[in-house]
């Protein structure tokens, strides 16, 4: 479903050009569970941002569901993000003034879904992630693991085909971390494509495919299991 061909991304840092991504080409099929690994500065986060349509490549072609998304305008990109992609971040990015319920509800709100339907969906999602009794809490009142579960509930509420996770365990203790990974794997078993950036080898090893990056290039691309 994802096809990348010769993706390039160059940043200007001061007067210097930094090639964050060079000649990146790979495909991801529906239902895959991919870990992107590499040291910091290897370009893995840039790659994830491009995959998530938050950033545009300077050259190359990105096809999502056989649509050349690299040529879409801003508003269409927003629409694709809204319906097809769910994001999970290292720092959760929950809005502090909203309750857990409202944070999960936010994508539905942005999409203009009717309130009654929203309520049903969010209640179900919170229950599914074991957050039923946390619905009225604000992020500051939740533990790290709970926050990330709220974030995942939010990422899945629009029933996206892809979940992009940027160091989802980076800010969590190990038990909460593995809990989060379990959830992502469960989602993958339900057919959602999961692409995760991590530098934790143990977590990376659990993926069915590992793409290793260094200096903006793909160093290796291996599948197992």
Partner 1 sequence: MRLNDFFLITFLSVREQPLRSFLTALGIAVGISAVVLLTSLGEGLHRFVLSEFTQFGTNLIAINPGKKSTLGVSGAVISNVRPLSIDDADALSMLPGVIKSQPVIQGNAAVEAGKRQRRTTVFGVGSDTPEVWQLSVAAGHFLPNDPPRNARPYAVLGSRLRKELFKQEPFLGKRLRIGGEVYRVIGGMESKGQMLGFDLDDAVYLPIAKAMSMFNRESLMEIDLLYDKDHSAESITIAASKMLKKRHGSEDFTITTQEQMLETLGSVLNILTIAVGALGGISLVVGGVGIFTIMTIAVNERRAEIGLLCALGASRQLVRLLFLGEAITLSLLGGLAGLILGVGCALGLALLVPALPIHTSWGFVAAAELIAVLVGLGAGVLPANNAASLPPVEALRAE
Residues in the site for partner 1, rule: CB under 8 A? 49, 52, 54-55, 74-75, 78-83, 85, 87, 89, 91, 93, 95-98, 106-107, 109-112, 114-115, 154, 158
Rounded to a whole number of angstroms, the minimum distance from the CB of residue 34 to partner 1 is: 19
Which is nearer to partner 1, 49 or 176 (by Cβ)? 49
Q: Which is nearer to partner 1, 159 or 219 (CB)?
A: 159
Give me the long-range contacts of 151-154 (CB less than 8 A, separation at least 24).
151/88, 151/89, 151/92, 151/93, 151/94, 151/103, 152/86, 152/88, 152/180, 152/183, 152/184, 152/187, 153/104, 153/122, 153/125, 153/126, 153/128, 153/129, 154/86, 154/94, 154/103, 154/104, 154/106, 154/107
Q: Which is nearer to partner 1, 148 or 206 (CB)?
A: 148
CB of 106 to partner 1, least distance (A): 6
Q: Which is nearer to partner 1, 168 or 206 (CB)?
A: 168
CB of 76 to partner 1, least distance (A): 9
Q: Cβ of residue 110: shortest distance to partner 1, in angstroms?
A: 5
Q: What is the nearest approach in angstroms of partner 1 to the Cβ of residue 101?
A: 13
Closest separation in Å from C-beta 201 to partner 1: 25
Asked if 196 and 35 count as a contact pair (C-beta separation under 8 A), the reply is yes
Sheet holding 67-68, edge to edge: 16-28, 2-13, 59-64, 67-68
In this complex, which beta carbon is closest to partner 1, that of residue 78 or of residue 202?
78
Helix (H, G, I), strand (E, B) or coil at 87: strand
What are the helix and strand counts (H, E) for the chain?
Answer: 7, 10
Q: Which is nearer to partner 1, 108 or 184 (CB)?
A: 108
């Amino acid at each position: 479903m994802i096809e990348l061909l010769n993706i390039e991304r160059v940043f200007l840092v001061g007067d210097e050009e930094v090639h964050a991504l060079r000649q990146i080409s790979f495909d991801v099929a529906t239902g895959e569970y991919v870990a992107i690994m590499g040291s910091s500065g290897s370009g893995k986060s840039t790659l994830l941002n491009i995959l998530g349509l938050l950033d545009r490549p300077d050259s190359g072609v990105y096809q999502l569901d056989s649509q050349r998304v690299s040529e879409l305008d801003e508003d269409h990109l927003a629409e694709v993000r809204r319906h097809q992609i769910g994001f999970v971040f290292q720092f959760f990015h929950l809005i502090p003034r909203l309750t857990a319920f409202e944070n999960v509800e936010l994508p539905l709100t942005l999409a203009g879904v009717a309130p009654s339907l929203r309520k049903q969906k969010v209640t179900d999602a919170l229950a599914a992630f074991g957050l039923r009794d946390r619905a009225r809490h604000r992020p500051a009142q939740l533990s790290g693991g709970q926050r990330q579960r709220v974030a995942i509930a939010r990422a899945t509420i629009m029933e996206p085909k892809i979940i992009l996770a940027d160091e989802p365990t980076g800010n969590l203790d190990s038990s909460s971390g593995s809990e989060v990974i379990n959830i992502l794997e469960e989602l993958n078993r339900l057919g959602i494509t999961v692409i995760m950036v991590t530098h934790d080898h143990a977590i990376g090893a659990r993926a069915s495919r590992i793409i290793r990056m260094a200096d903006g290039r793909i160093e290796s691309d291996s599948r197992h299991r």
